[in-house]
Amino acid sequence: MATVGEQSVHIELLVADGDEERPDVESGSRVDVSVAGEMYPTARLADGRYIAWWFDTSAPDPTDQAATEWVAAPTRYLAAATLRELWEDPSLFDTLTQGSTPASP
C-alpha cells in the first residue's frame, strides 16, 4: 500500500508599493498559459520561480509600472491558476495581502 504524504508549496503574493523594485524577470521568458479557457501571462523569475501578473494576454511587461500585483509559484500553471482565483475574488486577495487569514466557507 502506498502512503500519501503532505507537502507544502510556497506561493507568494507580491504587491507594488510606490517605487518598489519590480520582479527580476528573465528576458524572453514570457509564456501565456490557459486556465479554465482564459489566458494568463507568466514569466520565469531569475530565482527559478514563475510569476503571473495580469488577467489577459494584452498585459504590459511584468516590470511595467502598470503591473502592480504578481503571484509567484514553482510552476507557470500554479502561478496563473492562483492569480485567476484571486482575480475572481478580490476580497480574498485583499485579505491575503493584508496578512489576515480568510474565513472558512
DSSP H/E element including 70:
strand 69-73
φ/ψ region of 22 (left if φ > 0, alpha if ψ in -120 to 50, else beta) reads beta
Q: If pLDDT is split at 50, 70 and 90, which confidence band does 104 have?
A: very low
Q: If pLDDT is split at 50, 70 and 90, which confidence band does 105 have?
A: very low
Q: Show Cβ contacts of residue 66 under 8 Å, excluding neighbours closer than 6 positions.
A: 60
> In this predicted structure, what is the pLDDT of residue 62?
92
Q: Show Cβ contacts of residue 19 under 8 Å, excluding neighbours closer than 6 positions.
A: none
> In this predicted structure, what is the pLDDT of residue 95?
83
pLDDT digits (tens, 9 = 90+) for 13-70: 998 886 777 899 999 999 999 999 999 999 999 999 999 999 888 999 999 988 989 9
Q: Indicate the SS3 state at residue 84.
A: helix
Distance CA 33, CA 30 (A): 10
Q: Which amino acid is at 87?
A: W
Residue 99 scores a pLDDT above 70: no
> In this predicted structure, what is the pLDDT of residue 87?
85
Count the alpha carbons within 13 Å of 79 in the hemisphere toward its beta carbon: 28
